[in-house]
Amino acid sequence: MATGNKNSTIIPQTLRQKVWNYIRRNRNFVIGNVMAITGIKYGNLRDMLKTYELAGYIEAISKSKPLTSNRYTLIKCTGVRVPIHDKRKELLYDPNLDIEVEIKRTPSILKILSFMDKSPISKEEINKSTMLAHATNVKCYAKLKELNMITRISPIQKNSNGHVLFNVDLTEIEEFKKKVANREIDIKAIF
């Protein structure tokens, strides 16, 4: 009896497919376990999970240090094929449903600016809320300093936790945000 294997296509067993297979089977998963089982590198996995989080496929249960102990849960398991992220188009293509989900990442610098709501403020205070990588923070603060949006107080002042405070030009920040929203400033071009 011929059944005709409708839609029969061999699923390529890429590294990302292996990660997807693992998280489908273990809906509550820890980053470290995914790395140990599939051999994926931390940076690649972090990108993949971030995309799925933005698209509403997974949800963070706990985020703590070390980062490899972070726990997530799969809330939208659409099928066996791994959803693919198109970075250029900022889309997540789900071959299981044949749909595209728009992925809008907030640029790191805007995330930092959104937490600069008072002056003076310490970088540690902001970093705690943004949860960005150290290297990203360094890059963003250097750019903000260059754009004169933040300046170090002279002589140095520290808060009660011993963290160095700096002044924030709140008016300038609002202007900057407006220009970004009106596409007068291209953030990608700045970096």
Partner 1 sequence: MREEFIVTKNYSQLYEAIQSLKNLPRTAPKMGLGYGHFGLGKTFALEKLAAQENAILLRAAQTWSKTSVLTELCEELGVDTTGHSPVKYRRVLESLIAGPKIIIVDEIDALLRSTKFEVLEMFRDFHDETGIVLFFTGMEEANRKLKKHKHFYSRIVEFVEFHIIHKIDIEAFCSLSDVHIENEVIDYFHKKFPNLRQIKVMLLRLERYCETNDIDIVDMKTFKMSGAEYGDRK
- Annotate 38-74 with b (16+ C-beta within 10 A) or e (fewer): bebeeeebeebbebbebbebbeeeeeeeeeeebebeb
Does 18 participate in binding partner 1 (rule CB under 8 A)?
Answer: yes
Q: Which residues are registered as beta bridge partners of 166?
A: 121, 152
> Pick from 3, 148, 171, 182: which binds partner 1 (CB under 8 A)?
3
> Pick from 32, 50, 120, 123: which binds partner 1 (CB under 8 A)?
32
Question: Among residues 172, 173, 56, which one has the least CA distance to residue 110?
Answer: 173
H or E element at residue 187: helix 187-190
Pick the closer one to partner 1 by CB: 6 or 104. Answer: 6
Cα(151)–Cα(168) distance, integer angstroms: 7
128 Cβ contact list (under 8 Å, min separation 6):
none
Does 1 participate in binding partner 1 (rule CB under 8 A)?
Answer: yes
Does 6 participate in binding partner 1 (rule CB under 8 A)?
Answer: yes
Binders of partner 1: how many residues, by CB under 8 A? 31
Does 71 participate in binding partner 1 (rule CB under 8 A)?
Answer: no
Hey, what are 123's tokens?
């970088």
Does 162 participate in binding partner 1 (rule CB under 8 A)?
Answer: no
Q: How far is the CB of 35 from partner 1 (least distance, A)?
A: 4
Does 165 participate in binding partner 1 (rule CB under 8 A)?
Answer: no
Does 26 participate in binding partner 1 (rule CB under 8 A)?
Answer: yes
Residue 167: CB atoms within 10 A of its CB come to 15
Does 10 participate in binding partner 1 (rule CB under 8 A)?
Answer: yes
- Which residues lie near partner 1 (CB under 8 A)? 1, 3, 5-11, 13, 18, 21-22, 25-26, 31-33, 35-39, 42, 65-66, 68-69, 79-81
